[in-house]
């Protein structure tokens, strides 16, 4: 097995320059969710040129799947790629690097299969578009893409009132903006009773009235509600909704609360799979841990939904910059060559972890046992 891992790492090293270029091309061509045409085409051609059979536009116009081997010869391991960008600030979430890691891992695993003289199982490199608010992985889940996958890996309201003239007939008006402001303030006050790991943040989408002397008949807010696990998210969501309804009652308005069709769930990190990954990444020296108090709460990913269906890991990694995620500074860092050594190490670690899963039936069973226990605790 050690020999197979060495072969995988060597194969990735040989492609280091091309992998860096792949990441830079995606970085140079930022595309919003479900519009990742250039990235889709570049990634699929990159894989095809290296011997991968690729299903382009797989279940979605900008998704893809590259498959090697078959499930009858061993476990089915999926390595996922992301490649959509953020409005105005490009790849400030590092999806260009996440795509590179997924492809690198695929190259390493393919080399290990060739060294073994046969596939050790089934490998899928899956391109998942629309992570930034689009729920691309959730769509692929609904399409059955993950149905036979054993292990998956990847590396991070409307208020309505009634218009009236504010000076002549203010008593005839029902001020929707008052309701929105009251709701906003109520949610702000709620933060005093929120757990340190809970997050609620919102903004005004529509502030109502066309002129200062016309009472606004409609105002609209958009909120993100986050919590570490689904149980807590349900509790927090109820508290926030109460703020919205109370504001409507206090101001005489009506309120309509709409939720995203595909909410993002928390990520369940499979303990046995994560331990295996840790053992592999430690061999490169790029490894560290953060305590809960050191780790900043916030951030959501549709990988969480995958982790409720398939044993998964979603480790985070440092790229040589102290910039914060979703900032212009972080976008600059994700396109910097300094991120490459860390990124290639991640690709190698995922490939090595996949090899462990392919060659160790006992590990796979522990992973499945952990998965069953984790789901039970979240009921």
The whole-angstrom separation of Cα 311 and Cα 354 is: 13
- Stated as kind and residue range, the H or E segment containing 67 is strand 64-69
pLDDT at residue number 258: 84
Q: What is the DSSP string of 7-62?
A: HHHHHHHHTHHHHHHHHHHHHHS---TT--HHHHHHHHHHHHHTT--EEET-SSTT
pLDDT at residue number 285: 82
pLDDT at residue number 165: 37
pLDDT at residue number 327: 86
The whole-angstrom separation of Cα 374 and Cα 307 is: 10
**What is the pTM assigned to this prediction?**
0.83
pLDDT at residue number 311: 98
pLDDT at residue number 209: 59
How do 122-127 and 76-81 pair as beta strands? Answer: parallel
| pLDDT by residue, tens only, the chain of 379 residues | 779 999 999 999 999 999 999 999 999 999 999 999 999 999 999 999 999 999 999 999 999 999 999 999 999 999 999 999 999 999 999 999 999 999 999 999 999 999 999 999 999 999 999 999 899 999 999 999 999 999 999 987 334 444 443 444 333 445 677 888 898 899 999 999 899 889 998 887 776 655 554 556 778 888 888 888 888 888 999 999 999 999 988 888 888 888 876 788 889 999 999 999 999 999 998 666 655 555 555 568 899 999 999 999 999 888 888 888 888 999 999 999 999 999 999 999 999 999 999 999 999 999 999 999 999 988 7
Cβ contact 307:269 at 8 Å:
yes
Cβ contact 96:27 at 8 Å:
yes
Give 327's Cβ-side CA count (13 Å radius). Answer: 8
Q: How far is CA 347 from CA 102, 123, 142, 202, 336, in A?
A: 6, 14, 27, 36, 17
Q: How far is CA 344 from CA 11, 107, 142, 180, 226, in A?
A: 11, 11, 31, 48, 31
Q: Tell me the domains of the chain and their CATH numbers.
A: 2-156+263-377 (3.40.630.10), 158-256 (3.30.70.360)
């Amino acid at each position: 097995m050690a020999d197979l891992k060495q072969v995988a790492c060597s194969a990735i090293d040989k492609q280091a320059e091309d992998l860096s270029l792949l990441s830079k091309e995606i970085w140079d061509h930022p595309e919003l969710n479900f519009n990742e045409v250039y990235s889709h085409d570049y990634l699929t051609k990159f894989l095809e040129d290296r011997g991968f059979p690729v299903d382009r536009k797989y279940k979605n116009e900008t998704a893809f799947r590259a498959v090697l081997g078959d499930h009858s010869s061993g476990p089915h391991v999926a390595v996922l790629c992301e490649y959509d960008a953020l409005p105005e600030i490009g790849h400030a979430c590092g999806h260009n690097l996440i795509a590179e890691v997924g492809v690198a891992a695929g190259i390493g695993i393919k080399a290990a299969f060739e060294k073994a003289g046969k596939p050790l199982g089934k490998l899928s490199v899956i391109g998942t578009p629309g992570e930034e608010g689009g729920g691309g992985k959730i769509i692929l889940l609904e399409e059955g893409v993950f149905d036979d996958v054993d292990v998956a890996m990847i590396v991070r309201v409307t208020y309505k009132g009634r218009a009236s003239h504010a000076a002549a007939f203010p008593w005839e008006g029902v001020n929707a903006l008052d309701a929105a402001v009251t709701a906003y303030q109520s949610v702000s006050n709620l933060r005093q009773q929120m757990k340190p790991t809970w997050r609620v943040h919102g903004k005004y989408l529509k502030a109502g009235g066309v002129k200062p002397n016309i009472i606004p008949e409609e105002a609209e807010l958009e909120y993100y509600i986050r919590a570490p696990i689904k149980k807590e998210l349900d509790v927090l969501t109820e508290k926030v909704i109460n703020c919205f309804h109370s504001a409507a009652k206090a101001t005489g308005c009506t309120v309509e609360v709409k939720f995203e069709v595909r909410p993002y769930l928390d990520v369940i990190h499979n303990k046995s799979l994560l331990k295996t990954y840790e053992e592999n990444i430690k061999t490169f020296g790029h490894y560290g841990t953060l305590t809960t108090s050191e780790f900043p709460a916030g951030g959501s990913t549709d990988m969480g939904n995958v982790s409720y269906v398939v044993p998964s890991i979603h480790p985070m990694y440092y790229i040589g910059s102290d910039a914060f995620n979703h900032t212009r500074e972080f976008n600059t860092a994700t396109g910097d060559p300094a991120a490459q050594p860390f990124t290639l190490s991640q690709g190698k670690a995922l490939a090595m972890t996949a090899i462990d899963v392919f060659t160790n039936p006992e590990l796979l069973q522990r992973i499945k046992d952990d998965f069953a226990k984790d789901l039970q605790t979240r009921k």
